[in-house]
């Protein structure tokens, strides 16, 4: 009975508490991110692919950013200065996120120029498309809803999930072009370069906004 009661209490809290749902969901996202990092790391080593190696590092750092924020959020609240440490952790994660997205120019160049020795069949590409569609849809919905929460950790995690989804769009776009193009995507290079550039610019803009908001919040509190 106690297990059923605990499960009911958990799902009731999941439905009612937006912050709790975000933290649990982000913990699950950490596992998915780690899996993607391992997968791309394997492809990078097995096929000597710098592009996959760069994406592996990116996913590992995304994993680290989520870990920093979730650990700060779950730290005991009764310790002196707990709120200040949490805000500084989110500020540091926001700065690292901007630096990380700036460094994406290398993997994006390799991706757009199709410098990748790994090939995929249509079925894995379709599966990737379905997962990416779900991921982007949920990230966009949750980004819009993040205003419901005053918790900066929750708001940052929702933003991070949306940026992660934007990267998935670029990956999916170039994978589908590679799978369906007879010339390996060379004829689509202008289009892929333009759309990838726009998405990268959006990622940078979101990162800059997030960092500015956190910097302003921390320094307003300390003033």
Break the chain into its structural domains and give their ranges: 2-222
Across 11-15, 105-109, 204-208, which has the greatest mean pLDDT? 204-208
Which of the four pLDDT bands, split at 50, 70 and 90, describes residue 12? Answer: confident
How big, in percent rounded to 5, are the helix, strand and coil portions of the chain? 85, 0, 15
For the stretch 97-151, pLDDT in tens is 999 899 888 878 877 776 555 566 667 667 777 778 878 888 887 777 766 677 8
Distance of CA 48 to the CA centre of its chain: 25
Extended strands (E) in 57-140:
none
Q: Which of 160, 170, 174 is nearest to 200 (CA)?
A: 170
Residue of 130 and 93 predicted with greater confidence: 93
Task: Give me the count of residues in the chain.
Answer: 223
Q: Which of 223, 202, 217 is nearest to 86 (CA)?
A: 217
pTM here is 0.80
Which of the four pLDDT bands, split at 50, 70 and 90, describes residue 205? Answer: very high
SS3 state of residue 76 = coil
Contact 36, 30 (CB under 8 A): no
For the stretch 25-48, pLDDT in tens is 888 888 888 888 888 888 888 878
At residue 78, the pLDDT reads 62
Which of the four pLDDT bands, split at 50, 70 and 90, describes residue 209? Answer: very high
- Supply 37's token pair: 């990092």
For residue 185, give Cα distances in angstroms to 113, 114, 124, 173, 193: 8, 7, 18, 11, 11
SS3 state of residue 121 = coil
Contact 39, 52 (CB under 8 A): no
Residue of 7 and 62 predicted with greater confidence: 62
At residue 185, the pLDDT reads 58
With 70 as the cut, is the pLDDT of residue 94 above it? yes
Contact 157, 22 (CB under 8 A): yes
The residues, any chain, with a CB within 8 Å of residue 20's CB and separated by 6 or more, are: 13, 14
State the distance between the two ends of the chain, measured CA to CA, in whole angstroms: 52
Distance of CA 88 to the CA centre of its chain: 20
Other beta carbons less than 10 A from residue 175's beta carbon: 21
What does R_g of the chain's alpha carbons equal in angstroms?
19
Which of the four pLDDT bands, split at 50, 70 and 90, describes residue 81? Answer: low
At residue 88, the pLDDT reads 86
Contact 208, 98 (CB under 8 A): yes
């Amino acid at each position: 009975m106690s297990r059923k009661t605990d499960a009911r209490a958990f799902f009731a809290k999941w439905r009612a508490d937006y912050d709790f749902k975000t933290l649990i969901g982000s913990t699950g996202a950490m596992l998915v991110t780690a899996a993607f990092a391992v997968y791309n790391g394997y492809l990078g080593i097995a096929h000597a692919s710098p592009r996959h190696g760069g994406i592996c590092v990116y996913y590992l750092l995304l994993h680290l950013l989520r870990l920093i924020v979730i650990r700060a959020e779950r730290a005991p609240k009764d310790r002196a200065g707990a709120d200040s440490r949490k805000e500084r952790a989110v500020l540091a994660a926001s700065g690292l996120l901007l630096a990380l997205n700036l460094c994406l120019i290398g993997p994006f160049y390799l991706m757009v120029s199709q410098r990748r020795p790994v090939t995929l069949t249509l079925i894995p590409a379709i599966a990737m498309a379905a997962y990416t569609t779900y991921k982007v849809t949920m990230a966009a919905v949750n980004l819009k809803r993040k205003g419901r929460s005053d918790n900066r950790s929750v708001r940052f995690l929702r933003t991070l999930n949306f940026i992660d989804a934007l990267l998935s769009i670029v990956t999916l776009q170039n994978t589908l072009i590679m799978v369906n193009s007879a010339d390996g995507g060379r004829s689509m290079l202008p289009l892929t370069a333009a759309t990838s550039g726009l998405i990268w610019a959006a990622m940078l803009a979101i990162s800059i906004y997030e960092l500015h908001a956190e910097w302003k919040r921390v320094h307003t509190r300390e003033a």
